[in-house]
A and B are shown apart, each in its own frame.
Chain A
């Protein structure tokens, strides 16, 4: 993974000093609340319902065992001994003290971490496939480009006060695991027929109040032009994006207002001035960054481990876990393991300090000391020998990481919701838990198969409810919390936005509502169909009929 050099260290150290000074001036009354607001947000610091919340960057989800230990230590010393992993592959502390945030940032900097641009109206953490570099279906490893974008976007002087936040995602595999179609800019890394690397560029996707699927504005952008082209898009957005209404300020609204063609023409006109300029990537630079992501020292192993086969036959619990939480690896004899942070009664994406330290130990013992955070809020050990899977599973069980539910209904994507977030209209965590409790029968859960359940506590959609196969949105009705259900969303290659089922529900009936939806699926499905397939074939009406007949 990427290692800081002297330049990176200087920049992060100077950021700590800058924010210490800003915090001090704020506490002395020299900065007003309004003046301090964007400064603290661009350092990931929110003022929340009960306490500030600090969001720490995990660039494109890559984190080392050493860094994870540091995150654990900080959670003990400055917080309440746990953290929350977000859908932007970042990590959040829910209870830091504002005055101590500069000290936390200084601690983070000692292990090459920071909170730069994790919030605010600027370019945020670029996200990618959690299986980047190891996926069997990968065409190009997207991580070098993520790092190139990280460096370019860090303290970009022109784009620190955009109309609204700006999110970029990159995918380099056949299967889109980075939800690139619902990002402000989505990039697919591709190789053209001449063997050259480049990007298919989408703009104007996004969730939130006005969800949209991104539109392609460039079918193949050669890799050396990545930064000049991004700069052209950002400049057009910075100049012409709406600033009069925060709900209409994302780039998707501009793309829609102008039309994709006119937007593309504006970007191209701007790009003519920037193309081939100094920000054009050099081969040397791409190579320099790529070297940080070279493969670890894999050993030669048979494609199929006999030991693994033996354990799979002998232990059905292990088999369940293997089926759901282990993914094929591009290197023979290796496997990708997802550590589930979705045990029932644990807030989705939360991990205690002990769990973090256990994950660091497991990473060091089994996976070259690296961990990834997925946008589904789980942790990934990307390079595990198949021979080690059984012992790893036993270890993971001890620390509550081995819930065999990856990709299933209980692997809920969920925002912190009304329990923590000042923006939320409703609580989201109790809904997740109630549904997890209802679907606690593993055989039943496995029989239902792949199903994304995404829950957001408000229409800002941090829980990605629009792209869940089943999406739940917390709404406020005259001071009471209600929940709207959407069906048919998807964040993958077949990206789609969910359709609203109908009037919203009270919290206590939500498990029944989900059960009814599942019943309709089970009744109508053909043997090869997943939930989303059946939904697309039969449409929303049968679900509507059933849910409103039985839950009124």
Chain B
């Protein structure tokens, strides 16, 4: 059973990931489909008996999802390469601007040493590369105990809550 890290715990991944979706395709109960295919078929939200999530690639504009946000169980953001940092901005916009409260999942080239930054930008779920040990990677969330700047996890910068 594939696993993900969710809220800093390794759990089973109940979602099936689709690289494409065309109207009429049979979907698993819990499915994550591409954002463009979803936007072409938004009625899936009502018609599909299970839960629907979408995934964005790093060049996608998350703003297009705003009418559907409260109905999406999962939004996944793909990191085609771990050095492609667009997903960090996408995540902050989804959380801080669009106010999304559901699962925000990092997929693609997601590695131990990016987890701290990903978490700070609002991701709460992480699908690591298959060959990486997710239990060992959990340490990555605790690399730093304090941060200077505001982000999704700490909306106040250090200078607004420092003790001295």
Contacts and interface: CB of A to CB of B under 8 A. Distances in A.
Are these two chains actual partners, yes or no? yes
Interface of A: 5, 7, 10-11, 14-15, 18, 21-22, 31, 35, 38-39, 121, 151-163, 227, 235, 238-239, 243, 273, 277-279, 281-282, 284-285, 288
Contacts of A238: 85-86, 88-89
Given A35-B113, A278-B160, A162 B85 contact: yes
A157 B148 contact: no
A278 B157 contact: yes
A157 B146 contact: no
A10 B142 CA distance: 13
Contacts of B85: 121, 158-163, 238
A165 to B, nearest CB: 13
Contacts of B117: 155, 157-158, 160
B50 interface: no
Contact of B92 (A38, A158, A278): A158
A11 B155 contact: no
A282 B159 CA distance: 8
B121 to A, nearest CB: 5
B131 to A, nearest CB: 10
Interface residues of B, number: 36
Closest 8 CB pairs of A and B: A161-B85, A157-B120, A157-B117, A285-B159, A151-B148, A158-B88, A18-B143, A278-B150
12 contacts: A11-B144, A11-B147, A21-B139, A121-B85, A151-B148, A151-B158, A155-B147, A157-B116, A158-B121, A160-B117, A238-B88, A279-B157
B15 interface: no
A158 B148 contact: no
Interface in B144-164: 144-151, 155-160, 162, 164
Nearest to B111: A35
Contact of A282 (B82, B89, B160): B160
A14 B92 contact: no
A431 B146 CA distance: 47
**Dominant SS at the B interface?**
loop
A157 B88 CA distance: 8
Given A239-B89, A278-B156, A158 B151 contact: yes
Contacts of B146: 7, 10-11
Contacts of A15: 144
Contacts of B159: 151, 281-282, 284-285, 288
A43 to B, nearest CB: 11
Interface string B105-129: 0000001011011101100000000
B111 A14 contact: no
Interface in B83-113: 83-86, 88-90, 92, 97, 111, 113
Contacts of A284: 159
A152 B148 contact: yes
B147 A161 contact: no
A14 B144 contact: yes
B121 A157 contact: yes
B145 A152 contact: no
B15 to A, nearest CB: 25
A38 B83 contact: yes
Interface string B61-82: 0000000000000000000001
Contact of B149 (A235, A243, A279, A282): A279
A281 B92 CA distance: 20
A248 B159 CA distance: 36
Nearest to B90: A239
B82 A161 contact: yes
B57 to A, nearest CB: 12
Contacts of B139: 21
Nearest to A152: B149
A279 B85 CA distance: 21
Contacts of B164: 5
A282 B157 CA distance: 11
Nearest to B83: A161
B113 A156 contact: no
B82 A7 contact: no
A35 B83 CA distance: 9
B31 to A, nearest CB: 27
Contacts of A151: 148-149, 158-159
A160 B88 CA distance: 9
A239 B143 CA distance: 26
Most buried by A among B117, B121, B157, B160: B157
A243 B97 CA distance: 25
A373 B157 CA distance: 30
Contact of B86 (A18, A239, A273): A239
Given A10-B145, A157-B151, A282-B160, A243 B84 contact: yes
A81 to B, nearest CB: 33
Contacts of B82: 35, 38, 161
A31 B132 CA distance: 10
